[in-house]
Amino acid sequence: MDEESVRKQLTCIGEDPNREGLKKTPERFVKAWAYINSGYSMDPKEVVNDALYEAEDSNMVIVKDIDFFSTCEHHLLPFFGKIHIGYIPNKKIIGLSKLPRIVEVYSRRLQVQERMCSEIADAIMEILKPQGVAVVAEGIHTCMVVRGVEKVNSKTISSAMRGSFLEKSDTRREFLSLIK
């Protein structure tokens, strides 16, 4: 997106892109849009780097309430919320800060929440090779809040389960009870 395109959009909605409050808006928008969609330039393997460590056991690890911000690919409107990630180590654990960084890789793209969960789970499975991964996202979609059905209090919950979280109901149940 370039500044001229933003000026055209402002004109299309009946605004004057040269009025005082909008003069620098195209420049600000282009910078903001690049940041909001910065996940395309990130590689989850590079984000994790070498932050993999020997696991002393195979107890479940959970990082919950990871804030995320994304953009709905259908309406180009924001959606945001919390992501909860659990995994069961298989010889390796990951630096805890790396899980939110993996979330950033996939949330900072044009997305649907369901695919975002799957991409995060698949990346963790590929990089860490754990016994299993669980990802649950709770999102508020502004495309449902400010337009369409206008349901302010609605939340969308999606999940992606891999390995032992998919195969073992007790493991899945334990994870879900711990993230409540």
One-letter amino acid at 177 equals S
Residue of 74, 114, 126, 167 with catalytic role:
74
Known catalytic residue at 74: yes
CA torsion sign for 119, 120, 124, 125 is negative
Q: Please indicate whether residue 113 is annotated as part of the active site.
A: yes
**165 CB contacts (<8 Å, ≥6 apart)?**
86, 88, 132, 133, 134, 171, 172, 175
Q: Which pair of structure tokens corresponds to residue 49?
A: 């780097």
Backbone angles phi, psi at 115, to 5 degrees: -65, -40
Based on the residue annotation, tell me whether 143 is a catalytic residue of this protein. Answer: yes
Find the catalytic residue in 3, 9, 15, 75: 75
Q: Which of 4, 73, 126, 167 is catalytic?
A: 73
Query: Is 84 tagged catalytic?
Result: no
| Pick from 119, 124, 120: nearest CA to 88 | 124
| Catalytic site residue from 104, 111, 113, 138 | 113
Q: Tell me if residue 174 is catalytic.
A: no
The residues annotated as belonging to the active site are 72-75, 113, 141, 143
